[in-house]
C-alpha cells in the first residue's frame, strides 16, 4: 500500500508516548500528575500582576489561574494531540459533539453559509439542519465524494465546508487535496472529522485542511471509559476557539484528561492492531456467502480504495456489512457473537457491534434511513484488539447460526 511520507509510524509511536510532557515533572514523577484543582493561588499581588502582564503577550501561560481557563493535565493532552497531528495547537473539549458544535458556532455568523457532506455523523447533520438556522446560518448538504455538486453548492457567503474521512458507517474517504483546491481560492475554511482514522492513519492538516476534529472518546482515549473531543490546527484557527472556550465552558476535568493521556501512549500500537483485525475480518466477511456486501476501505471492492490506499497508513477497525436475508437473520447473527458486545461506540480495545437501524438511527423515519443507506440488515462491527483468529472464528460460528 502506498503511504504518505509525512511522518514515520515509529515517530508517531514515540510522539504518542512522550510528546507534550517534557515540562510536567512535578515531584520527579514519570507520569503527568492529575492536577485536581479548580483554583490556582498566587503568593502575593506582585505575582498576580506579573501573571496578568505575561498573559497579555503569551499564547499559552506558564501557569494557570482558574480551572475553566486551563489545567496542566489537560494542556499535556492538548500538546500531545497537536504533536500527533503535526499541528501548532489543539483544544480539548468535553465531547466530540462539543468539538463540532463549538467550532461551527464560532466560525459562522448570521448570514453565513455552511456546506456539509451527507455522510457526516447524524448529530452533526442535525445540528446544521435544525440548530444553526436559529442564528441565521444556512446549511447545504451534498453527497459525499460528489465534487461537482460540492462546487455547485458554493455561494459567495459560504464560509466553511465540513466533512468526515472515513465516514460513519460506510468508510467513504474524501479527497483532501481536491477539497482544499476548491475551498482555499475562495477563502472557505475546511474542517474534517477524522475520528475513524486517527492521526496514525491520516493527518488531514498535511493536505492543507484548516481544522481537524476528533471524538477523543473513541480511538484516542481507546478504553471506552472517558468522553472528550478535540479541535486541532494552527494558532490562528484555535486561538479564537480557545478564548471562547473559557466562556462556553465545555471543559474536560483533570482525571478524564489523565485517562486520555494514558490511553494515547499506546495509540500507535492499538491502531496497528485495529488495522490488522479490521482488514482480516473484512476479507473474511466479503468471501462469506451469507454476507451481501462489505464496506471497508482496505478492500479493492470499496469505492474509495485507491484514494484510501494513497492517503492513509491503515484502514481502521470499523467494518460495516449487510447480512443476506431479513432483519431477523441480522439479529440472529449479532446475538450469536460471543466476543463482540452490542453497543453504540467504537475505537476501544473491546469489540462492539451495532444494528444501525436500531442504534443511532432509530429515531429517523424508515424512508429517511433508506435515503442514508441504513437498511435493517446493516451491521457496524467496531473491531477491538482481540486476537484476530478468535474474532474470525467467532464471526464464522455466528454466521452459521443465520
279-310 pLDDT, tens digit per residue, is 999 999 999 999 999 999 999 999 999 999 99
DSSP state of 39: B
| Residue 59 confidence (pLDDT) above 50 | no
Segment among 51-65, 241-255, 263-277, 364-378 with least mean pLDDT: 51-65
Structure confidence at residue 95 as a pLDDT band (50, 70, 90): very high
Mean pLDDT of 98-116: 97
Q: What is the pLDDT of residue 52?
A: 77
Element (DSSP H or E) covering residue 51: helix 45-55
Q: What is the pLDDT of residue 4?
A: 41
- Confirm whether 68 is a catalytic residue: yes
CA-angle at 183, arms to 199 and 12, nearest 5°: 10
80 classed as catalytic: no
Q: Considering only CA atoms, which of 202, 204, 230, 206 is closest in space to residue 217?
A: 230
Is 30 a residue whose pLDDT tops 90?
no
- The predicted model gives 174-184 an average pLDDT of 98
User: Residue 158: helix, strand or coil by DSSP?
Assistant: strand
Share of the chain above pLDDT 90, in %: 77
**Three-state DSSP class for 400?**
helix
Is the CB of residue 132 less than 8 Å from the CB of residue 104?
A: yes
Q: Is 155 a catalytic residue?
A: no
Least confident window among 37-41, 107-111, 112-116, 136-140: 37-41
pLDDT at 22: 61
Catalytic position from the list 159, 189, 203, 218: 218
Domain boundaries, the chain: 9-35+71-264, 267-400
pLDDT attached to residue 8: 64
The confidence score (pLDDT) of residue 5 equals 41
In this predicted structure, which of 8-12, 32-36, 76-80, 139-143 has the lowest mean pLDDT?
8-12
| Catalytic pick among 118, 193, 376, 394 | 193
The Cα–Cα gap between 221 and 260 comes to 5
What pLDDT band is residue 7 in, cutting at 50, 70 and 90? low
Could you please state the CATH topology (level 3) that the domain comprising 9-35+71-264 is classified under: 3.40.640
User: What is the reported pLDDT for 393?
Assistant: 98
> Could you say which of 55, 68, 178, 303 is catalytic?
68
Asked if the model's pLDDT at residue 6 lies above 70, the reply is no
Name which of 151-165, 200-214, 274-288, 361-375 the model is least confident about.
361-375
Mean pLDDT of 180-192: 98
Task: Tell me the pLDDT band of 2, cut-offs 50, 70 and 90.
Answer: very low
Question: What is the per-residue pLDDT for 81?
Answer: 97
Q: Is 159 a catalytic residue?
A: no
**Active site residue: 118, 121, 189, 219, which one?**
121
Instruction: Please state the rounded mean pLDDT for residues 245-274.
Output: 95
DSSP secondary structure letters along 272-312:
HHHHHHHHHHHHHHHT-TTEEEEE-TTSTTSTTHHHHHHH-
Cα–Cα separations (whole angstroms), residue 230 to 90, 95, 98, 211, 213: 7, 8, 9, 10, 6
Distance separating alpha carbons of residues 355 and 364, to the nearest angstrom: 14
% of the chain residues with pLDDT over 70: 94
Which one is the CATH code of 267-400: 3.30.70.2740, 3.40.50.10860, 3.90.1150.10, 1.20.120.1810?
Answer: 3.90.1150.10
DSSP-derived 3-state class of residue 102: helix
pLDDT value of residue 62: 62
Query: What confidence category does residue 372 fall into, taking pLDDT thresholds of 50, 70 and 90?
Result: confident
Exposed/middle/buried for residue 29 (C-beta within 10 Å: 0-12, 13-18, 19+): exposed
Describe the strand order of the beta sheet including 158-164 as a list of residue ranges: 89-93, 229-233, 211-215, 189-193, 158-164, 113-117, 138-142
**Is residue 224's pLDDT more than 70?**
yes
| Alpha carbons 197 and 288: distance in angstroms, whole number | 26
Amino acid at each position: 500500500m502506498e503511504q504518505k511520507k509525512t511522518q514515520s509510524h515509529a515517530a508517531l509511536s514515540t510522539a504518542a508516548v512522550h510528546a507534550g510532557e517534557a515540562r510536567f515533572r512535578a515531584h520527579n514523577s514519570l507520569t503527568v500528575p492529575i492536577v485536581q484543582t479548580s483554583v490556582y493561588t498566587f503568593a502575593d499581588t506582585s505575582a498576580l500582576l506579573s501573571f496578568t502582564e505575561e498573559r497579555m503577550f503569551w499564547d499559552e501561560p506558564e501557569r494557570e489561574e482558574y480551572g475553566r481557563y486551563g489545567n496542566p493535565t489537560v494542556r499535556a493532552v492538548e500538546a500531545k494531540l497537536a504533536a500527533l497531528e503535526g499541528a501548532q495547537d489543539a483544544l480539548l473539549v468535553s465531547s466530540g459533539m462539543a468539538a463540532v458544535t463549538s467550532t461551527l458556532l464560532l466560525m459562522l455568523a448570521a448570514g453565513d453559509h455552511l456546506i456539509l457532506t451527507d455522510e457526516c455523523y447524524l448529530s452533526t447533520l442535525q445540528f446544521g439542519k435544525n440548530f444553526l438556522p436559529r442564528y441565521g446560518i444556512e446549511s447545504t448538504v451534498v453527497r459525499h465524494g460528489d465534487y461537482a455538486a460540492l462546487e455547485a453548492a458554493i455561494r459567495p457567503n459560504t464560509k466553511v465546508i465540513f466533512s468526515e474521512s472515513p465516514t460513519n458507517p460506510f468508510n467513504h474517504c474524501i479527497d483532501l487535496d481536491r477539497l482544499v483546491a476548491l475551498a482555499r481560492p475562495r477563502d472557505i475554511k475546511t474542517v474534517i472529522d477524522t475520528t475513524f482514522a486517527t492521526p496514525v492513519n491520516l493527518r488531514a492538516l498535511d493536505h492543507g485542511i484548516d481544522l481537524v476534529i476528533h471524538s477523543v472518546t473513541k480511538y484516542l482515549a481507546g478504553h471506552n471509559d472517558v468522553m472528550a473531543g478535540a479541535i486541532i490546527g494552527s494558532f490562528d484557527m484555535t486561538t479564537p476557539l480557545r478564548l471562547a472556550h473559557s466562556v462556553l465552558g465545555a471543559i474536560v476535568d483533570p482525571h478524564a484528561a489523565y485517562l486520555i493521556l494514558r490511553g494515547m501512549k499506546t495509540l500507535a500500537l492499538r491502531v496497528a492492531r485495529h488495522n490488522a483485525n479490521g482488514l482480516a475480518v473484512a476479507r473474511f466477511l466479503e468471501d462469506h456467502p451469507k454476507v451481501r456486501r462489505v464496506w471497508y476501505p482496505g478492500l479493492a471492492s470499496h469505492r474509495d480504495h485507491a484514494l484510501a490506499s494513497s492517503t492513509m497508513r491503515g484502514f481502521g477497525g470499523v467494518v460495516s456489512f449487510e447480512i443476506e436475508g431479513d432483519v431477523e437473520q441480522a439479529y440472529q447473527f449479532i446475538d450469536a457473537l460471543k466476543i463482540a458486545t452490542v453497543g453504540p461506540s467504537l475505537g476501544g480495545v473491546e469489540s462492539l457491534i451495532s444494528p444501525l437501524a436500531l442504534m443511532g438511527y432509530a429515531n429517523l423515519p424508515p424512508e429517511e434511513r433508506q435515503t442514508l443507506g441504513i437498511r435493517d440488515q446493516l451491521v457496524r462491527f467496531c473491531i477491538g484488539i482481540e486476537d484476530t483468529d478468535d474474532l474470525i472464528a467467532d464471526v464464522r460460528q455466528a454466521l452459521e447460526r443465520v
